[in-house]
Each structure stands twice: as C-alpha cells, then as structure tokens.
Amino acid sequence: MTMRRMGYVAVVGWLALLPSGSPAQDAVDASSLRLRWDVDPPAQGLQTVCGRVFNDQQMAARRVRVRVEGLDERGEVTRRRDGDVLGQISSRSAGLFCVSMAAGAATYRVTVVSVDWVAETQSP
C-alpha cells in the first residue's frame, strides 16, 4: 500500500469511528454512475472498502453517498455502513470513497444511495 493511500485510509478510518447519523435509505436510480472497488486485507478487526464512482452523466454529481454491505456465504447482509464520495464528481470523471467496517464478511456489495445532480457551467 502506498504512503498516500495509507494516509487516506488513516483519515477515513478515523472518520469511520464517528457515528453515521443517516437513516436507512434505498438505492437511488444512479444508472449514470458506475462503481469499482477493492477490499483491503483485514487489519485489527477492520476491513476497508475503497473505490471510485465514475460519472457518465452530462451533469455533475454532488453529495454522492455510497453504501457498503458485508454479506455472508448465503448473500445475507451482516453489516452495513454508509460513506461519502469526496467532493463533486464532474461529468466524465470519477470520485473516491473509502469505508471502514468490522471485518469478517464473505463478500461485499457497494451501491449508490443518494446523489444530487447539478448542471455544470460551460467555459466559453
């Protein structure tokens, strides 16, 4: 793991200890957003899921929130945690997220649970 990513994971790990404060939400229609993520090896009882959200829309995506769910061998949700994508995601670009949670899931599922679409101003 690079020093940059370790620093990022440390900050996000610290943020993961704060209470979520968000009510349960259903996944939103975010068909113009694509997700890719990796799961880091467990460390000290925590597992970190980091990835990117790609915006294929002609508008910017703001306040993007993702949900990471830990699944058991049967596909049942055993843990759930929401996290924010850093910053605004301009059209045809990507934003980063990292969510830490208790280790031990067989696999993980990541979905977008909220997004605010905003028009981007075009430079002349």
Per-block average pLDDT, block size 10, for the chain (124 residues)? 50 41 44 93 95 95 97 97 97 96 96 94 60
3-state secondary structure of 15: helix
* Spans of all domains in the chain: 3-19+27-118
Span 50-63, pLDDT tens digits: 999 999 999 999 99
With DSSP H G I counted as helix, E B as strand and the rest as coil, what are the percentages for the chain, rounded to 5?
10, 50, 40
Q: Provide the pLDDT for residue 31.
A: 74
CATH class of the 3-19+27-118 domain in this structure? mainly beta
Q: Provide the pLDDT for residue 29.
A: 54
Cross-strand partners of 75? none
